[in-house]
Structure 1
């Protein structure tokens, strides 16, 4: 698993425990963790995913996946997924720093837009909206948690518009 894998799992589990909305109802079991890291490692090795992981003073601080499209007609677009800021590092500008790095990498890869999906009203939804992501579609039955149904927002933003917003 390695220290990076352990750090990514720690971030995911802390966020889930803190009512984060990452698609997991509870902390990952050993089997789920193994499957998640296996898939992530495979996608990174195949070039289908770029992963950004940051630590501070040896502590996991941030993680996000940028999933690239394998479809020739959609290579201009990349999906941001599983963006996680450790609870102790929230409010310190990590998403802004990560977006700067993601914009640079996206430009190197010829990606022109980011897309993502989030649960309506979640911390993530508020964060992405603050950075100018626009909802282009809403799925009313996006997630079901503890008997409750939540809507999901499908959002996007041009790399260049995002870069301009951030002064890059």
Structure 2
């Protein structure tokens, strides 16, 4: 069995260099057409501001951030939104699973998802939810990994270059 070309780990805090690398990753994904809440072109200042907010949530323990690094640096990431309403302490939202275009089709997305599920279990979570663009590569990955479909919401968001896209909502009960 070969060793993966990337390492996944949890960031307990996000320093300036990591925030810069994460901003570059987000910009790459938006440039590549990913509908991840931002429009193209994504200004570096806006990407940095987003990751600054994530860093604050990580520092408060409201979010967990996993990153995958390859020889060139951060190549992927995924977040678990751990802070939920008081009647949902068993649940977390999986958010912003991003894989740099240089690292796609290498198993990194699947590895990030498996790591996020393991981390959620470690945090005492038994239910995960997420949404993704309907018909996307990510949707196919989630289905392959056993996530259950809740349905599709048409016209939910805009593609980075404009035009409406539908979102597909999924959940996964963790054993």
In the superposition, the TM-score normalised over structure 2's length comes to 0.83
> Is the 8 Å Cα contact of residues 35 and 158 (structure 2) preserved in structure 1?
no
Take 1:67 and 1:158, find their aligned partners in 2: how far apart are those partners? 16
Q: Does 1:81 align with 2:101?
A: no
Take 2:40 and 2:158, find their aligned partners in 1: how far apart are those partners? 13
SS at match of 1:74: coil
Q: CA offsets per residue over residues 83-141 of structure 1, 9 Å max, x none?
A: 01111111111122222322222122110011001111122222212222222132222
User: Which protein has greater RCO, CA pairs closer than 8 Å, 6+ apart?
Assistant: 2
Specify the alignment match of 2:23 in structure 1. Answer: 9
SS at match of 1:73: coil
Change (3 A) 1:152 1:7: same
Matched residue count: 160
> Is the 8 Å Cα contact of residues 44 and 50 (structure 1) preserved in structure 2?
yes
Runs of 4+ in 1 over 3 A off after TM superposition: none
- Per-residue deviation at 1:147? 5.3
Take 2:162 and 2:66, find their aligned partners in 1: how far apart are those partners? 33
Take 1:134 and 1:140, find their aligned partners in 2: how far apart are those partners? 18
**Structure (1 or 2) with the greater helix fraction:** 1
- Aligned-residue RMSD, C-alpha: 1.7
- Per-residue deviation at 1:47? 0.7
Take 1:110 and 1:143, find their aligned partners in 2: how far apart are those partners? 31
Take 1:143 and 1:99, find their aligned partners in 2: how far apart are those partners? 23
Take 1:97 and 1:147, find their aligned partners in 2: how far apart are those partners? 31
Specify the alignment match of 2:74 in structure 1. Answer: 60
Take 2:84 and 2:60, find their aligned partners in 1: how far apart are those partners? 11
Specify the alignment match of 2:42 in structure 1. Answer: 28
> In the alignment, which of 22, 25, 42 is matched to residue 56 of structure 2?
42
Take 1:35 and 1:87, find their aligned partners in 2: how far apart are those partners? 22
Q: Does 1:120 align with 2:134?
A: yes
In the superposition, the TM-score normalised over structure 1's length comes to 0.86
Take 1:100 and 1:147, find their aligned partners in 2: how far apart are those partners? 32
Q: Does 1:159 align with 2:159?
A: no
Take 2:42 and 2:116, find their aligned partners in 1: how far apart are those partners? 26
